[in-house]
Amino acid sequence: MFASVLIANRGEIAVRIARTAARLGMRTIAVYSEADVGALHTRVCDEAVPIGPAPPLESYLAIDRLIDAARRTGAQCVHPGYGFLSENAQFAEACAKAGVVFVGPPPAAIRAMALKDHAKALMERAHVPVVPGYHGGQQTAAFLKRKAYEIGYPVLIKAVAGGGGRGMRRVDKHAEFEEALGAAQREAMAAFGDARVLIEKYVEAPRHVEIQVFADHQGNVIHLGERDCSLQRRHQKVMEEAPAPGMTAALRAEMGAAAVAAARAVGYVGAGTVEFIADGSEGLRSGGFWFMEMNTRLQVEHPVTEAITGLDLVEWQLRIAAGEELPLRQADVSLKGHAVEARIYAEDPARSFLPSSGRIAVFEPPAGEGIRVDTGFASGDAVPADYDPMIAKIIAWAPTRADALARLAAALRDLVVAGPRVNAPFLLMLAEHPEFRAGRFDTGFIDRHLDELLHADPYEEALAIARAVAFLIDRERRRIVEAERQARKSPSHDGWRDPWSEDDGFTLGSARTIVLDILVDGAARQATVTWGAEGAQVAIDGAPPQSAPSLPSPATGGRQRRPASILPSPARWGGSGRGPGESREAHVRIVEAAGGATVVAGGRQIHVALRRLDVLDAYDFGVDGVVRAPMNGKIVATFVEPGQRVQKGARIALMEAMKMEHSLTAPIDGIVTEVAAVAGAQAVEGAVLARIDPERANG
């Protein structure tokens, strides 16, 4: 076994490789760009080496810098992970030239599978079934259009050097072919520097089923079963599972034999994945699958195979790269239970899945029986805008598929991410969709059901906002009361009145209502807070009020213990995927954030801010004469100076935050004793901007 490994990657896969390597006693070496300074993968490794600026071409794709890092650190091998240079034959050759072992297949095998037309021709010679189509070198538009007609519509245009769905177009009509061809060629040229395409028959109701293969230097090749990766959006995998629903032992053996033949045909060594397209219109069946491509690396979804086999595929990669034989023969491979993986991306499904970056204020991964989380981030880490937005993978295992999906759904509900938006609510809806749970799906499932999968339950949203409003008001009240208590200790302060006492004008059984302007994800909304004999209720935008037990009633005399619902706790939630009247337990987390609070529930996060905190002062909540920044923002202007007499409500400063201007006003009558706000400067939430002395106001 190697003594050291340089991991030529970042994020969750770098962390995952490092943990296996460390378990095997290897010295782990991370690399990082300027965007990844202090990232989790650098913290879990024994050593970390900078390799350049944030752009991948100048860091994670810079072969010379990676080879130099390996030489300087004395790394015996380089593990490329997936993505970046993992399928780059030139990088594999550069490693060999530098005397460093590349943990992956030989360069010749990478090249053989790099171009789809060449790979399909090779598979045909190896008697591996391929999708009917044209894979030749003639690339004129007229010729390709004629071939498409001969194949029969619908057809799929695919970039020869493609991947990730780029350079791919489905064409349903002969008249649409030329326009689709031009678009595919332009996209392929921009992405891969190669405009060549191939034409394939489009398989109706396609299922994407892949076989995990392993080969050693001694010529042994086996497969470890299949994974179903049919849940895709824009040709990108979203959720994967193993085994494939509807797979039989006989069909698994047939597909596995085809995958092994494909690996042997290219002299493969190490971990690889042979991807097949299957006709799912009548269920998975013999003769109904065809070779698509081979990925000459570890796959993102490899944990589901690990879950059902009990094997560590990274350990297998390292041992095979070190020259060891495969630890198992085909007859020894057994599959147990079912596993499902969901990819957590920093993206906003509500905004057409736009990537989201920034600092993660809170990251609390789920835990529990059968749950595994692979991630490259922790609370406080930043998600750079320069790379793939995947921040974690949640893998759920159980004895049955139904139980595995139930565990995954529960884990997604318990996931807490505050900061960049994530796709967890979308994944939760997907995991709970009755058609998917019944096994009725193909690669077009998400597109057909997208509106359902993006649906946000109005009741859940209103309840979450109400809880955040209650939290913010309670936070302000407690801050004000604490300031009064501190002022009470001063010899010059007398006449202090507890704003929560029973003498403050509120009586048991009476009701008092205030209306607050709030910001929900930056949009103006309104909250109505009513205190009565039964506690407090919060209504959002005039909707029927929802109980908000986290908000103490002024009639309690301030002696009420802070309710547990302000803290991480379960609450009853409605939502899709259940029958009428049903509910579920959801983990609810309220996190203090810039300008307010972020409430996270069911994987969804909503930012809520009180638009004018000074409105609280108008309802006898108590004041301390200190003007604070209600959120992070820029001071636009100040309107007072020390020694100036002001009345309650007078403008003290103007702040710009969340694309809006916020007027900060005097909470009491008095004399300004300090002005800390400076026009043009940034202010952080809670910073003291000015102080007003009520004593001097009284003479």
Catalytic residues: 297
Q: How far apart are the first and last CA of the chain?
A: 83
Classified as helix, coil or strand, 70 is helix
Strand-strand pairing, 101-102 and 77-79: parallel
DSSP string, 529-568: EEEETTEEEEEETTPPPEE-TTS--GGGTT-SPPPGGGSS
Q: Tokens 């004129």 belong to which residue?
A: 140
Beta-bridge partner residues of 343: 393
- Give the strand pairing for 535-540 and 546-547: antiparallel
Angle CA 535–536–541, to nearest 5: 155
For residue 183, with 0-12 CB atoms within 10 Å meaning exposed, 13-18 middle and 19 or more buried, which class applies? Answer: middle
d(CA 524, CA 17): 46
CA dist., res. 31 & res. 48, Å (int): 5
Q: How far are the Cα atoms of 128, 365, 432, 495, 627 from residue 396, in angstroms, in the given order? A: 33, 13, 14, 60, 49
Per the structure block, which two tokens stand in for 207?
């299922």
Q: Is 56 in contact with 386 (CB distance < 8 Å)? A: yes
Residue 118: exposed, middle, or buried by beta-carbon count in 10 A (0-12, 13-18, 19+)? middle
Amino acid letter for position 666? A
Half-sphere exposure of 427 (CA within 13 A, CB side): 34
Sheet with 270-279, edge to edge strand ranges? 289-295, 270-279, 206-215, 221-233, 236-242, 338-345, 390-398, 371-375
Distance CA(403)–CA(338), nearest Å, equals 8
Candidates 258, 251, 305; CA nearest to 280 is: 251
Task: Using DSSP bridges, classify how beta strands 133-134 and 155-163 pair: parallel, antiparallel or unpaired.
Answer: unpaired
* Residue 118, SS3 per DSSP: helix
Contacts (Cβ under 8 Å, ≥6 apart) of 175: none
For residues 545 and 430, the answer to whether their CB atoms sit within 8 Å is no
